[in-house]
Every structure is written in C-alpha cells, then in structure tokens.
Amino acid sequence: MPKNILVIDDDGMVTKSLCALLNKTGLSAHPENNGYDAIDKIKGMHVDLIVVDIKMPGIDGVETVKKIKEILKSKNKADIPVIFITGYADNQANLEAEKLGEVIMKPLYSKEFLERINHYL
C-alpha cells in the first residue's frame, strides 16, 4: 500500500506540481489548499508525512501542524513527520517551524525534495 502524503499549500500550482511528482514515484499525495481543510482531512485518514507551506492566509503552516499534532496526540496516534516549505527568509517563522519538522526553502529541486521525502518514509 502506498504511503500517504498530505500536501498543504495555498498556491494551487505548488500542490498540483508536488502531488504529480509524488504520485509519479508511487506515493499517494493528497492536496489541500489551506490549513483548515487539512485539519479536517487528517481526522479521517491515515497520513505518513505532511508537506506544508509556512506562509498561508487564514491559518499558517506552523499553526496547522500544531493543531494536527494535538489531534493525533488526543487520539493516541503516532506523530507524523513534517517538511515545511517556504519561499520566505522569515527567521522567526522558520525557527518556529524547525521545532516541529524540517524546513526546506523554495524553489524545490525534485531530486533533493524526493530524497528528503524518502528519508522520512
């Protein structure tokens, strides 16, 4: 059974591109364009890895991941590894994200990105 990866980014082109890349390698990528929908989705499905943009309108990637981790903990489920992606050099946000997972700067390069994915899976 393929590993499930939740891809969260407010830029539809990013989610579409990343999901296509991940699906092409035999993984099962599930796109969401905001943190609220991602939180709802995580309640009803098993996810092996989360890829999430840090800067998003509404609820940002860091807050989204915090809420997801709270849900998992309350259900006694295993923690999920997280890869944050960002195009901004916002040190405060990046430092906060690094407490919860790995931070990768955009632009993403397919080979290196897939190596990081495989590291966690």
The mean per-residue pLDDT over the stretch 112-121 comes to 95
Model's pTM, two decimal places? 0.95
Half-sphere exposure of 40 (CA within 13 A, CB side): 7
Q: Alpha-carbon distance 67 to 50, whole Å?
A: 13
Identify the pLDDT of residue 121: 93
Q: What is the pLDDT of residues 18-71, one digit of tens each?
A: 999 999 999 999 999 999 999 999 999 999 999 999 999 999 999 999 999 999
Q: What is the pLDDT of residues 72-98, one digit of tens each?
A: 999 999 999 999 999 887 778 889 999
Task: Decide: helix, strand or coil at residue 95.
Answer: helix
2: how many CB neighbours lie within 10 A of its CB? Answer: 13
Domains and CATH numbers, the chain: 4-120 (3.40.50.2300)
Q: Alpha-carbon distance 69 to 80, whole Å?
A: 8
Identify the pLDDT of residue 70: 96
**Model confidence at 105, in pLDDT bands (50, 70, 90)?**
very high
